Structures are given as structure tokens and as C-alpha cells.
Amino acid sequence: MGNTLAYKILQSHLLDGTLSPGNEITIKMDQTLTQDSTGTMVYLQLEAMNVDKIQTELSVAYIDHNTLQTGFENADDHAFIKSVAQRHGVLFSKPGNGICHQLHLENYGKPGKTLLGSDSHTPTGGGLGMIAIGAGGLDVAMAMAKGTYSLTVPKVIKVELTGSLRPWVSAKDVILYVLQKLTVKGGVGKIVEYTGEGVKSLSVTDRATITNMGAELGATTSIFPSDENTLKYLTEQGRPEDFTPLAADADAVYDEILKVNLSELTPLAAMPHSPDNVDSVKNIGSIKIDQVAIGSCTNSSYTDLMKVAAILKGNKIHKDVSLVISPGSSKILSKLAENGALADMINAGARIIENACGPCIGMGQSPKSGAVSLRTFNRNFKGRSGTLDADVYLVSPETAAISAITGVLTDGMSCGRELPDIPSVSFSFNDHFIIYPEGADKQNTEVEMGPNIKPFPRNTALTDEVRAAVALHAGNNITTDDIMPSDSRLLPYRSNIPHLSNYCFEKIDSQFAARCKELGSCAIIGGENYGQGSSREHAALVPLYLGVKFVLAKSFARIHRSNLINSGIMPLVFENPADYDDFAIGQQLVIRQAKKQIQEGVVVVNNLDNGKEYKTLTNFSELEIQMILCGGKINSINGAK
Ligand code: MIC
Ligand code: SF4
């Protein structure tokens, strides 16, 4: 029986455990990446671990999220990250270089390598045939310190691609189709592996769009084979020597199979407010639009933007539409400038903004009240654009560009226009934005710590009796954007948990923070897929700061569940999901003999208000039990009990 590509790479990196679904394994981590909005915490934690030398082959600290610099805070965070990067031998990518995932694909990703990133879209690297996983900051700090990462072995879903995409249909439509089929929780506990003859028709950047948005499926990661298209991409990026051919065995066995005929796909859109709320552009109809935003780590490649330029060339943006474009990297922007495509965009009326995350994370370009905004991004959660009542639709670059001209959501297939082929180009290696850590080390580099950087909260060891009052009764698919909102107002405070704590769950329940402070020790009740979305561990650290002891939910998203455990907060799962209805804000809950129950794997929660007992499951691995008992990962490394 043959192996999947994912398991081949995991097997070649296996340090401990058996590679079988559900088992806990430890693998060697070759590379790590961080970005600035999670990075300050990562590097505070790395400093707290007191390591002399990082153990990875390559670690890069990117600055791409907090680039507005509306006050001193962002710039201080960047200076802090730069100083710690120097101390530990981490490459530092200056603001202006571009978006971490796009840059990592261009410059450092290698087929067959493992990558852990403190950003949920790290699986972008799967487009190059890597096992690239998004994780909480503490896990990434640990991966740097030890060169390892522990995870529960996921199952593998095979997505078998046949045919090839028609003009006006693109990689974005492939992943939107997969999201429509599998939903935002369909990938939890799974790796999505793409195979079949249709793979050959997709370039590396197409593949990266698909693996990038595998994060929205809740998948551990997504992966494509490494083939002649991979070699072509690496050659274009000036590093053919990094190529290795890789594929699953012909007789590989998968846990699930989804077949996708690329030739049958049409332009799709994810409607408000979830990436899996997908329908065809044709069915949704010609809705009037106010804003179009093109860019993000999903759709900001050279080819994507050249297609956009070709569609815009010689046209004028509709009078009621604001079109903003943010290229993925400095290399791409400079190439667009050289070949005239940038002028085509500007002459059509596009607003060119910095090559950074920008509007994708609400850092500027919030649309007007009640606006319809078409975005080539990956998330359309309510309020993420910075405008609570905006309706955000996720579309391909082609759909975005043609719609910006017509002023209504437009299916390019029926607009009667030809799309030119985009010839490939070679990029020369450009490291003008990279600071190498050579010559610097821990001893001779000071940590540069601005006044906004506060220590991160630490938990204490689990007590035998845990008392907590219900502070929130939340619904299904709560995102980490719901738990800890992020936009231009709050992103500058990613290194200041006390400040952020005032805004926890702000969009769902503005009284949450005040209630927690009043209750002292609290619990959160959640529905399905609690904590989906971003990897931000602030969605665990802030509740920890506010006194949350456990979250009791129907199910959890992978990264957030790990972040809770890393912070010593228990993620408990209802044995009987219908019990969820019995809970209400203010009820007093108690877990007796907590330590014993955690070790046994079943935890009974007593509800003192209705006198009932509720059985909950933990599904904790041995390492996770230790972390919960010690009050989090850092305590467990230091051996505290
Ligand atoms: C996101 O797209 O939500 C982010 C902002 O990139 C996050 C990271 C963060 O919250 O800092 C992610 O995807 O992990
Ligand atoms: Fe940046 Fe958006 Fe990508 Fe997150 S999803 S890394 S905010 S571009």
C-alpha cells in the first residue's frame, strides 16, 4: 500500500511517535516564519525561553501586517522584532518587502521541507510541495528553540483534479468550490492533498492560492505535488537548485476523496459573512458594488496582477467604485512598474497601496457604511473590513477587475471579452529588504523594547477545584476575529494584552470584558468550530488575562484549541451537543477533582444553577495533559507543577 505525499514528508521528518491518524507525533521543523502582528509575542516568548541559538535551518521574521504606523507602537514593535531576530539568527524582512506568504513562496519555500508559521495562511507553502502549517506563536517560538513541532496526525483527503480551467475561471474558484463542498469545518483534523491530471494545468501561484485558502477549511495544511511547474517557478525565481520532484505513490490510500473537474467550474463568490457561503457569480446576479480590493496573500501574485492589468488596460473604473490594489511583494511591484502594467492600472483609476496585508486585516480602506465590497482575499467575516455593516464577497482577481469596470458583480465568462495569456517572466534575486543576522548574537545585541510592549500573561498550575461563571454563551463558527478583533485601531496593541482585553468579543457582546472583570473566574460556552480563522494567540492570551478557565464547546478549530492549551485554558467538548442549550450567562459552574479528571480524559462540569452534571471530553494528548496541569506550555517546559 503506497503513501500519500503528505505522509511521505511527515515520515521523513518523524522524530517521535507513529504516523497514524489520531496519534501524537513530533516532527523536525526545517523552517519557521513569523509576521509582525503575532511576531512580537513569538519573540517575547523566545526570549523567555532563554535559548542561545535557534535550531531551524531557516527562520524569517516578516513585517507585513502593522505597516500603517499611525503612532509609535507599530514601529516600536518592528524595532523589537528586528533586535530579537538579530540576537537569535533570524532573517528580518523589512516593511515594504511584501506579504509573508508571498515572499516565503518566492524566496525560501522548498519542496519536501517542513515550515511552521505564526499565521494561519502558512499552508500557502503547500503550493511548492511543502508541509507548511500555521500555529500559535508559542508553538513557533518552540519550533525555533528546539527545531521540532508536535501535532496529532491528521487524516488525508484527496482532491482529484481533472480537466483544466476555462478563461475567466481561476484557482480562486477551485478553492471556493472546495469550500462550498467541505465547509469551514470540513478540513479540521485533515490534510488536503491535490492530485490528478488537472494538477499539471495549475501554476505554483495557482496552487498557492488553493493551499492558502485551505486554512478556511480548517485543515492542518494542503499540499500539491512538486513537478515540472514547480521547477519552472523556482527557475523564474532564480533558484532552480531548490527543486526536488515529489508525488504521492500511485497506489496511495486516502481517508476521503473529492473529485473536481476543473473544466466544469465557473466564476464563484463567497457571500457575506463566511468563506464557505459560496454560489456562482451568475446566480448571485449583478449586485451593485461600492468597492473592489485586489491583493492579500491569496491573490497578489505576478500573474494575478498581470491579469488584472490586462482587464483594466484602456478602461475606466466605474464612477461609483473605489478600486484598491496591493501587490504581494516588492519584486512583483517592481516588475509591474518595469513592464507598464502598473501604469495600465493607474490609468484605469486604480488606487495602488502598499504591498502589505492592508485592507485584508482592516488596516485602512474600510468601505463606506452598508457597502458591498468585492475582495480577492480569503476571509469575509463580519466586521473584518473595519465596517461592521459592510457586505464582503470573496472573488477571483478576474471577477474583481471586470466588476470594477462594470460597477456590478460580473461573470467574466459572459462579458464577451478575451483574456490574454500572461507570459512568464524571470525575477532577479533581490534581498534589498532583508537584514541578515550575520555577525550579531545574543551577547552583543540589546533587545529594543518600546513602552507599548507589555509582558504576556502567564497562567498558574491547575487547581483541584475549578469554579467559573459563564461569561458568554456563543454560537457556531465563532472566529478569532470575533474573540479578539483586529483592525487599524487594535493591531498596534498586539504586544499589549491589558489594552486589548478591553475589546475582547467587542463585536458580539460589548459587555464581555467588564463582565469577566466582575465575575473574576469565568467560562465560555461555544458552539461548533469555536475559534476558527486566524492563528492569533491573543484570542487565548486575552481570555486568560480576563480570568477564563475553560471553554466548553461543541467542537474546536485546530489552532485555537492548541492556543488555549498552550495558555493553560481547558478546551472541553460536550459529550452530548444538545447540553449546550442548558447554559446561560451568569450560571455558576464547578469542576471537582480537575487534575484527576483531566488525566482520565472525561471531565464532569457541574452546573450549580440547574443542579445538573455535564460530561465533557478532552481528547488531550500526553503533552497536552502536562500543559493543562502546569498552567500552559511555558510552565510545562520549565517543569512547574
Ligand atoms: C489573518 O489573516 O487573520 C491574520 C491577521 O493574518 C492572522 C494572524 C493575526 O491575527 O495576526 C492569521 O491568519 O493567522
Ligand atoms: Fe495578511 Fe490577509 Fe494574508 Fe492574513 S490573510 S496574512 S492579513 S494578507
pLDDT one-digit tens code per residue, 342-367 = 999 999 999 999 999 999 999 999 99
Which residue of the set 13, 36, 59, 65 is catalytic?
65
**Crossing angle for the helix pair 330-339 and 341-348, nearest 10 degrees?**
80
Q: Do the Cβ atoms of 322 and 290 come closer than 8 Å?
A: yes
pLDDT grade for 435, boundaries at 50, 70 and 90: very high
Query: Where does residue 94 rank: exposed (0-12), middle (13-18), buried (19+ CB within 10 A)?
Result: middle
At residue 330, does pLDDT exceed 70? yes
239: helix, coil or strand?
Answer: coil
Q: Which position has the higher pLDDT, 416 or 372?
A: 372
Average pLDDT over residues 522-534: 98
pLDDT tens digits, residue range 282-298?
A: 999 999 999 999 999 99
CA pair distance 431, 565, nearest whole angstrom: 38
Closest protein CA for atom 3 of ligand 1? 534
pLDDT tens digits, residue range 502-519?
A: 999 999 999 999 999 999
**Percent of the chain clearing pLDDT 70 (strictly above):** 99
Question: Which is nearest to 40 in space by CA: 134, 139, 137?
Answer: 137
CA pair distance 329, 297, nearest whole angstrom: 10
pLDDT tens digits, residue range 49-87?
A: 988 889 999 999 999 999 999 999 999 999 999 999 999
Hey, which of 486, 497, 537, 542 would you mutate to test ligand 1's pocket, going by the most ligand atoms within 8 Å of its Cβ? 486
At residue 179, does pLDDT exceed 80? yes
CA of 105 from ligand 2 middle (Å) equals: 14
The ligand placed nearest to the CA atom of residue 62 is 2
CA pair distance 170, 180, nearest whole angstrom: 16
Hey, which of 378, 384, 385 would you mutate to test ligand 2's pocket, going by the most ligand atoms within 8 Å of its Cβ? 378
Asked whether 361 lines ligand 2 (CB < 6 A), one says yes
**What sign for the dihedral angle of Cα 505, 510, 514, 519?**
negative
Q: Do the Cβ atoms of 558 and 514 come closer than 8 Å?
A: no
121: helix, coil or strand?
Answer: coil
CA pair distance 391, 388, nearest whole angstrom: 9
**Percent of the chain clearing pLDDT 90 (strictly above):** 95
CA of 261 from ligand 1 middle (Å) equals: 31
Closest protein CA for atom 1 of ligand 2? 357
Which residue of the set 119, 242, 411, 482 is catalytic?
119
Q: Which atom of ligand 2 is nearest to the CA of 298?
A: 3
At residue 639, does pLDDT exceed 80? no
Q: pTM here?
A: 0.98
CA of 64 from ligand 2 middle (Å) equals: 9
Identify the pLDDT of residue 640.
46
Average pLDDT over residues 567-578: 98
Cis peptide upstream of residue 273 (ω within 30 degrees of 0): yes
At residue 641, does pLDDT exceed 50? no
CA of 9 from ligand 1 middle (Å) equals: 26
Average pLDDT of every residue of the chain: 96
pLDDT tens digits, residue range 118-149?
A: 999 999 999 999 999 999 999 999 999 999 99
> Is 536 a catalytic site residue?
yes
pLDDT tens digits, residue range 190-201?
A: 999 999 999 999
CA pair distance 423, 306, nearest whole angstrom: 9
CA pair distance 349, 323, nearest whole angstrom: 7
> Is 64 a catalytic site residue?
yes
At residue 550, does pLDDT exceed 80? yes
What domains lie within the chain, and their CATH numbers? Answer: 5-264 (3.30.499.10), 268-411 (3.30.499.10), 466-640 (3.20.19.10)
Hey, which of 221, 360, 535 would you mutate to test ligand 1's pocket, going by the most ligand atoms within 8 Å of its Cβ? 535
> Is 501 a catalytic site residue?
no
**What sign for the dihedral angle of Cα 573, 578, 584, 590?**
negative
Question: Which is nearest to 400 in space by CA: 293, 326, 321?
Answer: 293
- The one-character DSSP state at 350 is P
Which residue of the set 13, 30, 37, 64 is catalytic?
64
